[in-house]
Amino acid sequence: MADHSADDIRKHVRVYMAVFAALAVLTVVTVAVSYLHIESVAVTVAIALFIASIKGGLVAAYFMHLISEERIIYWVLILTVFFFLVLMVVPILTDTLS
Amino acid sequence: MTEEIPYTVQEHPVTGIYNGKLGLWLFLASEVMLFGALFSSYVLLRVGAPSWPHGWELLSVPLATLNTFILIGSSVTMVMAWASLKMDDLGKFKLYMGLTLVLSFGFLIVKGIEYGGKFSHGISPATDNFYATYFTLTGLHGLHVIGGIAVNAYLLITSGAWWKSAPAHFTNRVECAGLYWHFVDLVWIFLFPTLYLL
C-alpha cells in the first residue's frame, strides 16, 4: 500500500471493523450450516469451501491490502495460485488414474 | 559508519514496493505451497480411505469456533496496530499489539485444551489417518502461531527504540509481521471447516 494520510487510515479503520463483522457473521453461518448435516457430501464441501473462500478473500483483500497493491505482488500470487492448483489436481489425477 | 540496507522505507524503482514486503510475499508464496502440499495429501488420503469420520463426531466444534473468533479478532487488532503507527500513535500501537499477543496466547491455550483432551484419552497422531492429518495440519499451524508470537513480542518490546530512531522503517516491519499474521489467520479459516465440519 502506498503512502496514506492519517485521514485515509481513519477511513480504512471503518472498513476493518466492517470486515471483522462480516468475518464473524460468516463464521456463524459456516458452523450453522454444518449442524444441518446435509446428505450430499459434495454440497457440504462446496458450501464450506465457498464460505471459507469469501472469508479468506476478505482477509487478503482488506487486512493484507491486496485490493490496492502493486502489480508485482499480483504476479507473484498468480504464479502461486497456478502451482497451488497443480497441487490440488494431483490427488484427483491419482484417483482417476489408479 | 555502517552502510544502510536500501529500500526498507523507500519503494524500489523496479518493483514499486519496499524490499521487505516483496520478500514477505515471496515467503508467503512458499508457505502456500507448504500448506497446499499437506492439504493435497489430506484430500488424497480422505478420498482413498474406505471410511473417514466426520470431524464434528470426534473434535470439539465449539472450541474450534471459539478459536476462529479469537484468531479473526487478533487479525483485526494486528491491522489496528499498524494503522495506529500510521496515525503516529505509539501508545495505541502498544495496546493493539499487546491485545494481539493476548489473543494469540488465548488461541494456543484453547488448542492446548483440545490436544490435552485427546492425549488424555490415549489419542495421538499414530491413532489413525484422521488424527494423523488433524495433528499434522493443526500442529504446523500452531507452530506458525508461536512464530508469529515471537516476532510480534519482539516488535512490541523494541517498539520504543525503533519508533525513536526509524519510525517509517518500523511501521513497515509491523506491516510485514501483519501480512504474516493475516496469512496464519487465513490458513485457519480453511483448516477449521475442513477438519472440524466436513
- Interface pTM, i.e. ipTM: 0.91
Q: Do A12 and B83 touch (CB under 8 A)?
A: yes
Query: Are B178 and B82 a contacting pair, CB within 8 Å?
Result: yes
Q: Which residue has the cell 492446548?
A: B112
Q: What is the sign, positive or negative, of the torsion defined by CA atoms of B54, B58, B63, B67?
A: negative
Q: Do A79 and B29 touch (CB under 8 A)?
A: yes
With cut-offs at 50, 70 and 90, classify the pLDDT of residue B128.
Answer: very high
Residue B70 scores a pLDDT above 80: yes
Check residues A3 and B187 and name the one with the higher pLDDT: B187
Give contacts of A45 with chain B, Cβ < 8 Å.
198
Mean pLDDT per block of 10 residues along chain A (98 residues) reads: 71 94 96 87 90 96 93 94 92 73
Measure B137 CA to nearest chain A CA, in Å. 16
Give contacts of A12 with chain B, Cβ < 8 Å.
83
CA–CA dist B50, A12 (Å, integer): 49
The per-residue pLDDT for B47 is 86
Give contacts of A24 with chain B, Cβ < 8 Å.
69, 72
Q: Is A17 on the interface with B (CB under 8 A)?
A: yes
Nearest CA in chain B to A36: B197
Q: Do B61 and A34 touch (CB under 8 A)?
A: yes
The per-residue pLDDT for A95 is 67
The per-residue pLDDT for A1 is 45
CA–CA dist A36, A20 (Å, integer): 25
Residues 19-78 in A contacting B (C-alpha not used; CB under 8 Å): 19-20, 23-24, 27, 30-31, 34, 41, 44-45, 48-49, 51-52, 55-56, 59-60, 63-64, 69-73, 76-77
